[in-house]
Structure 1
Amino acid sequence: MKTKLSLLSATLLTASLTMMPVASHAAIPMSVDGQTLPSLAPMLERTTPAVVSVAVSGTQVSKQQVPDVFRYFFGPNAPQEQVKERPFRGLGSGVIIDAEKGYIVTNNHVINGADDIQIGLSDGREVEAKLIGADKESDIALLQIEAKNLTAIKQTDSDEVRVGDFAVAIGNPFGLGQTVTSGIVSALGRSGLGIEMLENFIQTDASINSGNSGGALVNLNGELMGINTAIVAPNGGNVGIGFAIPANMVNSLVSQIIEHGEVRRGVLGVAGRDLDKELAKAFGLETQHGAFVNEVVPDSAAAKAGIKAGDIIISVNGRKIKSFQELRAKVATMGAGVKVDFGIIRDGDNKNIKATLGKAESVEAAAGALHPMLQGATLQTGSKGVEITDVAQGSPAAMSGLQKGDFIVGINRTPIKDLKAFKGLLEKQQGSVALKILRDNNLSYLILR
């Protein structure tokens, strides 16, 4: 059976509910021998007002190229592409993080493409929200509402969360209304799942389902540990494997959105891989957790700080990391210009190196403006040139032959090393452009007309 990873926003479809017989039983006493039974109710009474429902509606626009055979029949004035519009509605959840300013955090995939966003508060009020900013790669969005008597959630240091800690998920599954489930933290630092570009998830077995996206994962004190975002759903339902974006990661992204109106992603400038058993043995190391540095980008933050190829990064600001993906997610969400303390192993010795993160250059929104055939591609400066970090299915970029993981290393006969050089050189070109592509260590040319 193929495992299915599912984001948690729910379309507005009527759920099929089956009534089950209920056996009669005596009322359960609230205390036994004078001792009050343990209950999460007091904590939830304080916490649940901070979790809201998010209802969205809008119009999805899709573009498809008209096949050449049809353009032949309609002549030179035939349309180059067909535009289709389809209305949509959806449901998700959100968490109030600032009661005074009305800030609400949810997932980007909940509100992506929405023209109207309505917030349902726990007291029954419905308020229209405006989008302050969003980050697709980490799947975080910040909304704002104007309302009085709001309750903000308390937050905890998600780096202090441990496997085995009790966890409570609060959200709006299937549009049923606010629902609370409980479990434990099953794992930390989950990555490589292919759900998002930046992954460093808290895994939990608290039951979460479609519609829980953007809801809260809290501890027994009612403090926010993470924002629920996805589940493993081989049959479309919950099987006890859910994922939440850590609160510290959310806070860093939200702070950048509030301050700059966007996420100014930090870049260290290294390429690498996870430290596995074989690598650890080859280097004579006892630890098997960390990020092995294969390559350091010249003039990058890593190069300036003195990080070298062959170094093994084992901690970020004193907190241990398990994988290269975790390193990438932590660095990318910290923000450009932030000073970070990296713990490394070099030639068997432990060292601490401080680096000031550089700024990631990205033209995700403007890729199509650079060239029509780049529309749908996400570009950023990578270790080997301009990296294609994402290609939308059915987009002009996909139809031109670009693939996620490609590196653009040259335009015509001119080599390029970063996004700035790529943009500057591409703006000067007229007519057809030949992109030199590095894919799986093989070079080829792709012609943009």
Structure 2
Amino acid sequence: MKKKSLIALSSLSLLVGSAFLALPASAALPTVVSGQAMPSLAPMLEKVSPGVVSIDVEGSHVSKQRLPEGFRFFFGPDFPSEQVQERPFRGLGSGVIIDAKKGYVITNHHVIDGAKKITVQLSDGRALNAELIGSDQYSDIALLKLEEAKDLTAVQVADSDDLRVGDFAIAIGNPFGLGQTVTSGIISALGRSNLNLENFENFIQTDAAINSGNSGGALVNLNGELIGINTAILGPNGGNIGIGFAIPANMAKNIVDQIIEYGQVRRGRLGVHGQELTSELAEDFGYETNHGAFVSKVDKDSAADKAGVEAGDIIVSVNGKKIRSFGELRAKIGSLGAGKRVELGLIRNGREKNVTAVLNDIGQTAKAETLHEGLQGAALENYNAEGQVGVLVADVTKGSLAAASGLKKGDVIIGVGRKTIRNLGDLRKQLDGKQGTLPLNILRGSYSMYLMIR
């Protein structure tokens, strides 16, 4: 079957080539008809395409398999209890340059997940090494930085909240590793969620063809502005059937801004529980349509509670922009940083009401034992005070491994070996996969010292 498909494709190419060879010069397609230029996306694409890149990753996936207890019985107690296998892989994806001066490239988390080496190929053929600045698996966004980047072209970011169903959309990426490819279509739907694709779902749906390898590429409008990051498709066997999904540009930008500032995502929390608004619920609570998020519960002392949100409210807008579902509300709030002020539009007892909430900071502290076994018992958080940055040891559990190594509450981790640590993102990167003795550069009061964490 594959052989027949390849033969048919080759024949088609040959026929097309023959047809063009047979055309006289006078038969070229016209560029002007009735005094008007023929419409074309080419001028816009000539400006935008250099800002879309191909990404080649190399890495390895580590899998662990627990061995039967009988192995330790025969080979002794020192025999490992699990078998660790490391399988190398290579992958292809796409990315978008969003800052030409700093060399920032945005892509999907799943494109670079597990990568040890990331190579970015520009549209002019240059291949550059890329450093992973940070990523967020829950929104599927990652930020790369090109090394020794010069003469780059960035894609301008549009306000994706202004999108409408029916707007034209153009997808640019690297499907199947073919190289830069452009497809066009329209916005088919907005605010898609509950697709079981990502943790925070607020997808733009488009019928512009998106295929494997397009992940992380650009979805742009007719002005050549970035409106979304192509992420997933719905189709049999991974093939395109005209249902593709992209992460809205605003959501991606919020995540990237946090990664740049903090080295990680400091996700905000509103503190509401609820469900999608049905027509029955809308009628019961005095609302005429079923667009919005129904609030069934408000957590005590949460941002929503302090703002005056109540159970039974219907949240219909965030910062003046309408929302369509509870999933969209969750995604919008989840992509905003902790401490952000958000204006919520509510329907209560059939009447409109606006309240302002300041999002709580969740995930600010890290479970240190997930970074290194020897840090078990330490609570870590980002530190930035009096010109000093690093990772603050917010607490140390008495009798823990961290305490046994001499780590104390109030210490600031400023380095691992000779590598400088600015935040939790840097610390995670330096400790990734490391075992055994760990030399931490600690700032304790005004003194700098090294602690050996085991």
What TM-score, normalized to structure 1?
A: 0.77
- Determine the C-alpha separation between the residues in 2 that align with 1:152 and 1:425: 51
RMSD across aligned C-alpha pairs, in angstroms? 2.5
Using the alignment, how far apart are the partners of 1:152 and 1:371 within structure 2?
41
Distance 1:209 1:187 in 2: 18
Q: Which runs of 5+ in 1 are unaligned?
A: 1-14, 375-422, 429-449
How far apart are the structure 2 equivalents of 1:367 and 1:327?
Answer: 32
Cα 1:306–1:370 shift into 2, 3 Å: farther
What letter matches 1:91 in structure 2?
Answer: L
Within 2, Cα distance between the matches of 1:148 and 1:365?
39
Asked if structure 2 preserves the Cα contact closer than 8 Å seen for 1:370 and 1:426, the reply is: no
Output the CA distance in 1 between the equivalents of 2:357 and 2:338: 11
Map of 2:169 onto structure 1: 167
Find the aligned partners of 2:367 and 2:236 in 1 and give their Cα distance.
Answer: 33
Q: Distance in 2 between matches of 1:364 and 1:74?
A: 38
Match of 1:119 in 2: 120
Aligned counterpart, 2:258: 256
Q: Report the alpha carbon displacement of residue 247 of structure 1 after superposing the two structures with TM.
A: 0.6
2:291 corresponds to? 289
Question: How many angstroms does 1:281 deviate by?
Answer: 2.5
> 2:66, 2:306 → 1: CA distance?
46
Runs of at least 4 residues off by over 6 Å: 362-365, 369-372, 423-428
Matched position secondary structure for 1:249: helix
Q: How far did 1:68 drift?
A: 2.9
> Residue 443 of structure 2 corresponds to which residue in structure 1?
none
Decide whether aligned partners of structure 1 residues 267 and 84 sit closer, same or farther in structure 2, where only a CA change above 3 A counts: same
> Please, which moves more after superposition, 357-366 or 309-318?
357-366
Judge conservation of contact 2:285–2:348 (CA < 8 Å) in 1.
no
Partner of 2:205: 203
Distance (whole Å) between structure 2 residues aligned to residue 347 and residue 367 of structure 1: 48
**Structure 1 residues 291 and 425, CA gap change in structure 2 (3 angstroms):** farther
Query: Which residue of structure 1 lines up, in the alignment, with residue 405 of structure 2?
Result: none
CA distance in 1, matches of 2:364, 2:71: 36
Q: 1:216 Cα shift?
A: 0.2
SS at match of 2:172: strand
1:13-162 aligned at under 5 Å gives the runs: 18-21=9-12, 22-23=15-16, 24=19, 26=23, 27-145=28-146, 146-162=148-164
Quote the offset at 1:251 in angstroms.
1.0
Alignment of 1:43-442 (within 5 A): 43-145=44-146, 146-361=148-363, 366=368, 368=370
Question: Which residue pairs with 1:402 in the alignment?
Answer: none
**Residue identity matched to 2:111:** V
User: Structure 2: how far apart are the matches of 1:140 and 1:207?
Assistant: 21
Tell me: CA distance 1:235–1:365, structure 2 relative to 1, closer, same or farther (3 Å). farther
Residues 198 and 427 of structure 1: CA distance in aligned 2, closer, same or farther (over 3 Å) = farther
Tell me the amino acid that sits aligned with residue 156 of structure 1. Answer: A
Q: 1:323 to 1:97 in 2, by over 3 A?
A: same
Tell me, in whole angstroms, the C-alpha distance in 2 between the residues paired with 1:38 and 1:325. 38
Cα displacement (A) at 1:36: 1.6
Provide TM-score, normalisation by structure 2. 0.76
Cα deviation for residue 33 of structure 1 reads: 3.2
User: How far 1:19 moved relative to its partner?
Assistant: 1.5
Q: 1:334 to 1:231 in 2, by over 3 A?
A: same
Greater percentage in helix = 2
Q: Distance in 1 between matches of 2:223 and 2:399?
A: 54
Residue 71 (structure 1) shift: 3.6
Take 1:126 and 1:261, find their aligned partners in 2: how far apart are those partners? 25
- CA drift at 1:184: 0.3
Contact map agreement 1:203 1:242 (CA 8 A) in 2 = yes
Q: How far off its partner does 1:30 sit?
A: 2.0
SS in 2 for 1:361: coil
Q: CA deviation at 1:258?
A: 0.7
Contact 2:94–2:173 (8 Å) recurs in 1? yes
Q: Distance in 1 between matches of 2:78 and 2:207?
A: 57
Secondary structure at the aligned position of 1:250 is classed as helix
Alpha-carbon deviation of 1:306?
1.0
Distance 1:141 1:196, change over 3 A: same
Give secondary structure in 1 for the equivalent of 2:11: coil
**Cα deviations across residues 351-374 of structure 1 (Å, max 9, x unaligned)?**
0010000012277875747999x9
CA contact (8 A) 2:100 2:152 kept: yes
Give secondary structure in 1 for the equivalent of 2:64: strand
Q: Tell me if the contact between 1:370 and 1:427 (Cα under 8 Å) persists in the aligned partners.
A: no
SS state at 1:49 partner: helix
1:249-277 Cα shifts (integer Å, max 9, x gaps): 11111111111111100100111111112
CA deviation vs aligned residue, 1:367-391 (integer Å, no higher than 9, x gap): 747999x9xxxxxxxxxxxxxxxxx
**Partner AA of 1:60 in structure 2:** H
Name the CA distance, whole Å, in 1 between partners of 2:32 and 2:90: 46
Alpha carbons 1:341, 1:352 under 8 Å: kept = yes
Mapped contact 1:51–1:216 kept (Cα < 8 A): yes
Higher relative contact order at CA 8 Å, sep ≥6: structure 1 or structure 2? 1
User: Quick one: structure 1 residues 47 and 426, their matched pair in 2 at CA, closer, same or farther if it must change by over 3 Å?
Assistant: farther
Amino acid in the other structure paired with 1:19? S
Q: Kindly tell me: are residues 273 and 362 of structure 1, through their superposed partners in 2, closer, same or farther at Cα, counting changes over 3 Å?
A: farther
1:208 maps to a residue whose letter is I
For residues 97-154 of structure 1, the C-alpha deviation after alignment (integer angstroms, 9 at most, x for no partner) is 0001110000010011111000101111010010111111000000011211100001
Q: Distance in 1 between matches of 2:44 and 2:181?
A: 14
Cα pair 2:192 2:205 within 8 Å, conserved: yes
SS at match of 1:299: coil
Task: Number of aligned residue pairs: give it.
Answer: 366
